[in-house]
Amino acid sequence: MSETQVRSITGAVFGLIVIGSVVLSPWTSAALWIAVGVQGWRELHTGTKSTEKTSRWMFAAAVLAWVYLMVQLAWSKQGVYVPAQLMSLLILIWSNDSGAYFVGKPFGKHKLMPAVSPGKSWEGFVGGAFFAGFAAVLLFGWQDVWLGPLMAVLATAGDLLESAWKRSNGIKDSGKIMPGHGGVLDRFDGFTIAAPVYALILYLHPLQFNLNFLFE
């Protein structure tokens, strides 16, 4: 089986698990993000060469804050559970990832930041931003198309941050839990910076979620 086929199958199964957990109930959603956080911390703990306790405590605090944020992203200011609110972010990031991969793999010739992540290209970056922008139009309408490219930039920054951590520790993937994708950190690195900014946008600029009809 080719790498693309493995990635597609694994990604589809992974996506169904994540979407199912978010949609089913607040409890399954919280359980999902706690599980992701625990596995992510384990990968950080295992992959980091430094034995300094301070850095490891900082990793633990950052992961805990991120888990709390991801759980809260499914809740509105009024205390109502709104799956579409969190799912919209998931779709934006996944659209960027898919666009970057399917455009960058066959057409990527100009490296984005080869010293940090040799596989990333400007062509893939543009493809990811385009796919994310298209997703934003479907999710929120033309008035918020800007949210797609913005999330693409932030997701790429998160990806590069994780790539820099892996390179500094001499590892290729953060783990092997997902064939074709690597570890949990490899799959959720795009959310590290994008999720906090998305939360701030929700606070300052309420969005119209076109996915709400699925849960009414």
Please provide the DSSP assignment of 154-206 as one string: HHHHHHHHHHHHHHHTT-S-S-SSBTTTBSHHHHHTTHHHHHHHHHHHHHHS-
- Asked if 197 contacts 127 with a C-beta cutoff of 8 angstroms, the reply is no
Helix (H, G, I), strand (E, B) or coil at 89: helix
Instruction: Check residue 1 and give its pLDDT.
Output: 65
Instruction: Check residue 2 and give its pLDDT.
Output: 64
Number of domains in the chain: 1
Provide the domain limits for residue 31.
3-215
Phi, psi angles (nearest 5°) of residue 116:
-105, -50
Instruction: Check residue 47 and give its pLDDT.
Output: 86
Residue 6 tokens read as 């493995």
DSSP 8-state secondary structure symbol assigned to residue 79:
S
Residue position matching structure tokens 């919209």: 88
Hey, CA dihedral for 161, 86, 150, 205, is it positive or negative? negative
Length of the chain equals: 216
Instruction: Check residue 199 and give its pLDDT.
Output: 96
Please tell me the distance from the alpha carbon of residue 19 to that of residue 66, in angstroms, as a whole number. Answer: 18
pLDDT digits (tens, 9 = 90+) for 41-97: 988 888 888 777 777 788 889 999 999 999 999 999 889 999 999 999 999 999 999
pLDDT tens series, the chain, 216 aa:
666 676 678 778 888 999 999 999 999 999 999 999 999 998 888 888 877 777 778 888 999 999 999 999 999 988 999 999 999 999 999 999 999 999 998 898 899 998 888 889 999 999 999 999 999 999 999 999 999 999 999 999 999 999 998 888 888 878 777 666 678 888 899 999 999 999 999 999 989 899 887 776
Beta bridge partners of 178: 182
Instruction: Check residue 183 and give its pLDDT.
Output: 82
